[in-house]
Amino acid sequence: MDFAKEFLVPPDGKIKLADIDPGYKGKNESHASAASEIAGHVQCLAELQYRLYAEGKRSLLIVLQGLDAAGKDGVVRHVISGTNPQGVKVACFKQPTHEELAHDFLWRAHRAAPARGEIMIFNRSHYEDVLVVRVHELVTKSVWSKRYDRIREFEKLLLQAGTHIVKFYLHISPDEQLTRFKQRLDDPQRIWKIRESDYTEREHWPAYVEAYQDALRKTSTRRAPWYVIPSNHKWFRDLAISSILVDTLADMKLQIPKPAVDLHAIRLRFHSAKMEQEKNAPRRERGKPRARTLAHRSRKQRGKA
């Protein structure tokens, strides 16, 4: 399946979240049948990330958005797990600090944007400023409604600087959210994740759907596309996202750079270093017994005792 084609929000297209089944799972029946495909993608991602890092000219920004318990942390854990932590970073966008609120809404996003060679994952993002902020009327409509254009401009700026952008909305149903809240309540390993706000935010579900629809419609562009990922099945979410990420990085045609040094000269230096090393290495004197191993000695001592 071409996941990118299937789940793309067409630029300026009309998208209705109610028409997209969050429980969709394609041809796969279960995690078991998709597991090897996901593992293959994770391996591929690790290789592509290595190339991105080695090339050091471009970067990738992955935006993850979704309602509470949609699985943003799970994507970070399962999909990006095989990559080298040196080249991958995660920025979590929580309630803005005083310092952040004292700046324009894109300030913190810009500071967290990936450097060349890096993959940066935004776990929530600058989109919160047209989502939670809109739903809770934290600023007036005249303020948030202008932000879509600012976001498009901001992303264009990043694109022009060599940052590729891919954005995922993790689509779950209210039922599935409640099932996950219950799992958190029942599992001592997950109980810490519970927030009272999970339940208050849930009451605003229709307002969030409206805000998300607007954001997806207004900011999905050819070069910074949104994908709506059916996410009731965690393994299907991982399959679709990992596949789209592999395609995105493969399309970048990343090149391992040519060495910056004269290889012939370096080989000569290597050989002379090797000869020097061998010349100075202590030679074993003839007839001298080999040093006994610690294990051997302790065996002997055990025998005496």
Instruction: Provide the binding-site residues for ligand ADP, judged by CB under 6 A.
Output: 68, 93-96, 124, 128-129, 132-133, 195, 197
The nearest distance, CB 205 to ligand ADP, in angstroms, is 14
CA-based end-to-end distance of the chain? 71
The nearest distance, CB 92 to ligand ADP, in angstroms, is 6
Cα 175 → chain centroid: 26
What is the Cα–Cα distance from 105 to 94, expressed in whole angstroms?
A: 13
Helix (H) or strand (E) holding 6: helix 3-7
The nearest distance, CB 218 to ligand ADP, in angstroms, is 17
DSSP state of 104: -
Residue whose pair of structure tokens reads 């067409």 in the numeric block: 10
CB nearer ligand ADP, residue 48 or residue 130: 130
CB nearer ligand ADP, residue 101 or residue 275: 101
Nearest-CB residue for ligand ADP: 128
The nearest distance, CB 79 to ligand ADP, in angstroms, is 17
What is the Cα–Cα distance from 188 to 192, expressed in whole angstroms?
A: 8
CB nearer ligand ADP, residue 11 or residue 96: 96
Beta bridge partners of 1: none
Both structure tokens of 112: 């967290």
CB nearer ligand ADP, residue 201 or residue 243: 201
The nearest distance, CB 131 to ligand ADP, in angstroms, is 7
Phi then psi for residue 137, to 5 deg, are: 50, 50
CB nearer ligand ADP, residue 118 or residue 201: 201
CB nearer ligand ADP, residue 141 or residue 222: 141
Order of all β-strands in the sheet with 59-66 = 88-92, 119-123, 59-66, 163-171, 226-230
Report the alpha-carbon angle 121-126-132, nearest 5: 115
CB nearer ligand ADP, residue 48 or residue 132: 132
The nearest distance, CB 253 to ligand ADP, in angstroms, is 34
What is the Cα–Cα distance from 273 to 233, expressed in whole angstroms?
A: 57
The nearest distance, CB 197 to ligand ADP, in angstroms, is 6
What is the Cα–Cα distance from 109 to 50, expressed in whole angstroms?
A: 24
